[in-house]
A and B are shown apart, each in its own frame.
Chain A
Amino acid sequence: MEKLEVRGVSVSYQGKGVLEDISVTLREGELVCLLGVSGSGKSTLFNVISGLLIPDAGQVLLDGEDVTGRPGHISYMLQKDLLLPYRTIEDNVALPLLLRGMGKKQAREEAGKHLAEFGLEGTGKQYPAQLSGGMRQRAALLRTYLFSRNVALLDEPFSALDTLTKSAMHRWYLDVMGRIRLSTLFITHDIDEALVLSDRIYILTGQPGCITDELVIREEKPRAADFHLSPAFLQYKKAILERL
């Protein structure tokens, strides 16, 4: 079933087109990448999907319901973890629950339940400054998850991490995603990352940005450890490079 659907979204800013007629679908349990060079309006699209920006044309549907221009339904996670430095991990993660009007104690309990699932056991009472970059991104992801349960919009979430941490986070993310039935729309400009993670890849190019291609990656998930060295990987990569 279609979890999230973006239909014909166009955005212009000060008379200049930023996005043109973007249509994207995300099915349940799928990980879909939006791959594009910088300046192709990827982040603008996320602002539209999260309801912060009203598009000039088009619609955003979540589970079939029109949520265009209505924040409070879908949240996102950025490269910056945006954890509030003055709140403990537990209180940071519980924030979306508090915003929804849940009591403080209950929200903390609820957040605490999920810490272990996200590899954050024992960090609840710590402050973000006490955690490593990878751990902070996990906490940020848990916060996104507690907000919108089964859709995550991720905008280059791992691009500030070093290569080793990054590939560890990829494995971890696919594992968690499978366990909690999360559907993910993922922005990246890193082709390798897109190939390792995605079920499908949309290619976004140009100014204004529009979707020029869609690629289905027919490889088993999680991908083999040496997938990024295989001929199939190179075939995909070549195909993408030709289309970018």
Chain B
Amino acid sequence: MKKRQRSITRSRNKLPALIAVVFLLALWEAASVLEWVPRYMLPSPGDVVRAFVGDFGALRDNAAVTLQEAFYGLALGVGLGFVFAVLMDAFDILYRALYPLLVITQTIPTVAIAPLLVLWFGYEMTPKIILIVIVTFFPVTVGMLDGFRAVDPDAVNLLRSMGAGRWQIFRYIKAPSALPQFFSGLRIAAAYSVVGAVISEWLGGFSGLGVYMTRVKKAFAFDKMFAVILLISVISLALMALVDLLQRRCMPYAHLHEEP
């Protein structure tokens, strides 16, 4: 288990990342303050923070809309992804029929399909949620399918010898074995859900961070533009951290150290 311990100490040491971020921020501040780039085009980090604080009310209200869309879309997408994965694992014919289709859904550019969804479903939440479902169910389905297929056949046989049926094998072996892959998929899906919501708001809507972006872009308010980008990054990171937390809760055994 030496390998695992090393990777833990490695990930715990955040100093290099911190130094890199501070260095980049300093460089950015210099580029802006010393006018290497015209100030109105590249606001300094300080300007961005001021814009963030100054327009906090609008950012918060729009973020609430975006988060709501992301949440509904993610919940539906993950639910659908789960159902697809289970059915495709249980029935090989479904796997063979649907897998190529699933891959194709991921090759469709979201920016192309979002305006169509707006035309079909209007400017309200529905088209946004549909877009998020399309982008989030895939990582969950594929992750879980991989997890199901990586199950140790010896463990399955052992349970069968004890008289376990299909459902019991699913419950005691397949589902828990696929948890790590499920959470990897969920982490990606969570990040996609926010980006998906913003893109689809950008391409047509009344409120949300994407709409806010189009407005500040038209006003050439670069500082507000950066402020909203910052907010979106923070939200995505927070969601991913939430998924990690959930994973630790659900899989306490994954963080054990082996005792001699």
Contact = CB atoms under 8 A, between A and B. Distances in A.
Residues of B in contact with A, size category:
20 to 34
Nearest to A146: B162
B256 A147 contact: no
Interface in B194-252: 251
B109 interface: no
A28 to B, nearest CB: 21
Residues of A in contact with B, size category:
20 to 34
Contacts of B251: 86
B7 interface: no
B161 interface: yes
B176 A76 contact: no
Given A84-B155, A84-B173, A84-B176, A71 B256 contact: no
Contacts of A160: none
Contact of B253 (A50, A129, A147): A129
A95 B162 contact: yes
B248 to A, nearest CB: 13
B173 A96 contact: no
Interface string B98-135: 00000000000000000000000000000000000000
B161 A75 contact: yes
B160 interface: yes
B160 A86 contact: no
A132 interface: yes
B179 to A, nearest CB: 7
Majority secondary structure of chain B interface residues (helix, strand, loop or mixed) = helix
B163 A84 contact: no
Interface in B153-185: 154-155, 157-164, 168, 172-173, 176-177, 179
Contact of B163 (A85, A87, A100, A129): A100
Contacts of A71: 160-163
A52 B161 contact: yes
22 contacts: A50-B161, A52-B157, A52-B160, A71-B161, A74-B161, A75-B158, A75-B161, A76-B158, A82-B152, A84-B172, A84-B173, A85-B253, A86-B179, A86-B251, A87-B176, A99-B162, A99-B164, A127-B253, A129-B256, A129-B258, A131-B259, A132-B260
Interface of B: 152, 154-155, 157-164, 168, 172-173, 176-177, 179, 251, 253, 256, 258-260
Given A51-B161, A78-B154, A96-B162, 9 more contacts: A47-B157, A52-B157, A74-B161, A76-B161, A80-B154, A82-B158, A84-B176, A129-B256, A129-B258
